[in-house]
Each structure stands twice: as C-alpha cells, then as structure tokens.
Amino acid sequence: MAGEDTLVDELLAGKHRALARVITKIENRSPGYRDLVSQLHDHTGDAEVIGITGSPGAGKSTLVDKMAATYRERGETVGVIAIDPSSPFTGGAVLGDRIRMGSNVGDMDVFFRSMSARGSLGGLSTATTDAVKALDAFGKDKVIVETVGAGQNEIEIVKTADTVAVLVPPGSGDDVQMLKAGILEIADIFVVNKADMDGADRTVMELREMVEMRDASPMAGHHGADAMASEDTEPADEETGWEPRIIETVAKTGEGVEEFLGTIADHTAWLTESGELESQTRKRYEAEIKTLLREDTAALLEEELAARGGLETYVDRVLDRKTDPYSVADELVAPIAACVRERRENGD
C-alpha cells in the first residue's frame, strides 16, 4: 500500500485512483488522514464551490448532472460530492445519485463521488469539507456538493459552499413552509425546478414574497443565521447586499440551466467585489478550527473517561444521588484544565 506522501503526490499529479483513495481515507477517518488533509491545504483555494440542497425528489441530482455537463462544454473540470442519508440502524445506504448522472458517464473529468451520512457520526460536515479540499487540490474548477436539505447537518455542509442554491419543486405550499425552518437564510439562489409543472408560477410568487419579507426583517444578512459572526465583519448593507435570486429550470431537458449557471457566476463576482468572499472564507476556517477543537477535546475527554472506568459508573453514582452531573464534569475536566494552565504559565 502506498504511503501517505506518495498518495498526495499522486493526487496532485492528477491520478484519479489517488483522489478516490484520499476521499475514502477522509470518510473512514483512517489513521493518518489528518496529515493527508494538512498537506492538501496548501494546494486549495482555487475551486469554486457550489452547494445544492432541497427536499427529496426536487431534482437535485438531475440538475447537478446538467450543470456538470454544461461546465464541461465550457472546458471546465468538475467534481461532485453527493450525500445521501444512511440507515441509523444498520449504517447501510443505497447511494442513488449516481444513476442521474447520465450526461457525464464515461467522462473522467467529472469526478463524481457518493458519500453517506454515516449514522451517528457528527463529523459529516468535516468529512465533506475535507473531501472538497481533495477535489480542489486535484485541480477541479468547480466543485458541487449535493445534499438533501432535511436538517441542521445538511445546512452545515452546504455552508462550506461559496454559493448555495436551494431547489424548490413546484406544488403545495408545504415545500415553501419547510423552507422557513432555516433553509431560507442559507440560499443565495432559489431554483424552482420542474418549472413546466403546474403550480410553478405560484411557487415563484411565494418565494419572491418570502425574499422580500426577509429583506424587511432586521435579522437579514448573508447567511444570517451565523450566530458567531465576529465584530469585524461588516453588516451587509443595502447597497452591496445580495438579494437571493429566483430561477426557473427544467433539469430534465436542461432548460434554464445556462441562466442558473449565469446567476451562480453573478453571485461569485459579487462575492469577490464585495469582499464577502474573503470574510466568508475566514468564517469558514474559523468554524473549521472550532469544530476540530471541539472534536479533539471531546476525544481527549472520552479517553480520560475510559481510563477512569467509563461513563456508566458515573451514571450509577448520579442515580444514587452520590454526585451530580455538574460535579462529574468538573471532576473530569479539572485535572486537564490544571495541566493546561500550568503549561501556559510555564510558557511551554
């Protein structure tokens, strides 16, 4: 088996197998994957990342297929990461997005990778971010991340994208209702797909109404749900702000795809001109570091917990009213905190 160094070299040299293997290592969190991703970082930052989300059956995969084909016609290379849910019981999954990639089969310059949201694993967004880095370092011009917009996890993932498009199928107002629960804030572009179906006009209208309402709300702002926005990021002002666009497409026939890609390009241009791209990137790295810190400290604590005989014994004592959860947490964290403080004071 090739070592990590050669794997990175091979990836950078454009070997598909190496890219595929690196993503596998990222997904499996194989020993050494962190070094791999660290080495890739230097080679990233050139790809344009587009996130596509929406309810099941909205036509995401079909649209992604057409997007990839159109980019390829323009001579650009494309990477796609399609995320599907997995069974929380068996961990198994059928990853079906690939079937829709009919326009790009046989074209190795579209690198399509299916990923599953592996059960309880909280690090899906980390894995996705890292896989995007691998595709970026490989030299893909566009990286598309496709995911079912069903929960917080997915929203986190989509936030790794420069431009986020939310697909809305026409029809019952329920889909628009669903959007209210947090997806509205992340959309740079709304795509009313299957626009040839009845009710598309109404859906467009409802979306437009909602976008206007958003503008009137004091909470408005790009990716406004970012609670951790720091002081130095300017609030999006009226002049330079990006108002979510609404696009109609029929992914099956390719209708509207050119316009959609044009709007993505507009958004990218706006990101660059407004300086939003830079602040977005900063925020993203900020979030990435925080996530890693949280995961690593949690791992450290779990190790400590295991060394002390596991969580169960503490739960037993809490049940018997011998101690309480706060005291348990203090007891576990105190020695670590003491150790860290001591080293800090000693200037290590």
Residues lying near other proteins in the complex (CB under 8 A) are found at 1, 15-17, 20-21, 23-24, 27-31, 34, 86-87, 90-96, 98-99, 102, 105-108, 111-114, 116, 118, 121-123, 126, 292, 295-296, 298-299, 302-303
Residue with Cβ nearer other proteins (32 or 275):
32
Q: State the minimum distance, in angstroms, from the CB of residue 91 to other proteins.
A: 5
Give the tokens for residue 125.
């967004």
Query: Which residues, other chains included, contact 206 with Cβ-Cβ below 8 Å and sequence gap of 6+?
Result: 173, 176
CA distance 198 to 63: 19
Q: What does residue 116 show for φ and ψ, rounded to 5 degrees?
A: -110, 150
Residue with Cβ nearer other proteins (24 or 172):
24
Residue with Cβ nearer other proteins (292 or 311):
292
Residue with Cβ nearer other proteins (92 or 347):
92
Q: State the minimum distance, in angstroms, from the CB of residue 98 to other proteins.
A: 6
Taking the CB of residue 328, how many other CB atoms lie within 10 A of it?
16
Instruction: Kindly state the DSSP code that residue 78 receives in the 8-state scheme.
Output: E
Q: State the minimum distance, in angstroms, from the CB of residue 32 to other proteins.
A: 9
Q: State the minimum distance, in angstroms, from the CB of residue 130 to other proteins.
A: 10
> Could you tell me how far CA 224 lies from the centroid of its own chain?
16
Give the tokens for residue 88.
């929380």
Q: State the minimum distance, in angstroms, from the CB of residue 134 to other proteins.
A: 12
Residue with Cβ nearer other proteins (108 or 216):
108
CA distance 2 to 24: 14
Taking the CB of residue 54, how many other CB atoms lie within 10 A of it?
28
Task: Give the containing element (helix H, strand E) for 112.
Answer: strand 110-117
CA distance 163 to 272: 12
Give the tokens for residue 14.
């454009």
Q: State the minimum distance, in angstroms, from the CB of residue 156 to other proteins.
A: 15
> Could you tell me how far CA 41 lies from the centroid of its own chain?
17
Residue with Cβ nearer other proteins (88 or 335):
88
Q: State the minimum distance, in angstroms, from the CB of residue 133 to other proteins.
A: 15
Q: State the minimum distance, in angstroms, from the CB of residue 39 to other proteins.
A: 16
* Positive or negative torsion for Cα 9, 15, 16, 17: negative
Residue with Cβ nearer other proteins (83 or 210):
83
Residue with Cβ nearer other proteins (77 or 274):
77
Long-range CB contacts for residues 233-237, cutoff 8 Å, separation at least 24: 233/279, 233/283, 234/279, 236/276
Q: State the minimum distance, in angstroms, from the CB of residue 16 to other proteins.
A: 6
Amino acid at 136: D
> Could you tell me how far CA 24 lies from the centroid of its own chain?
17
Residue with Cβ nearer other proteins (33 or 314):
33
Pairing of strands 142-148, 245-248: unpaired
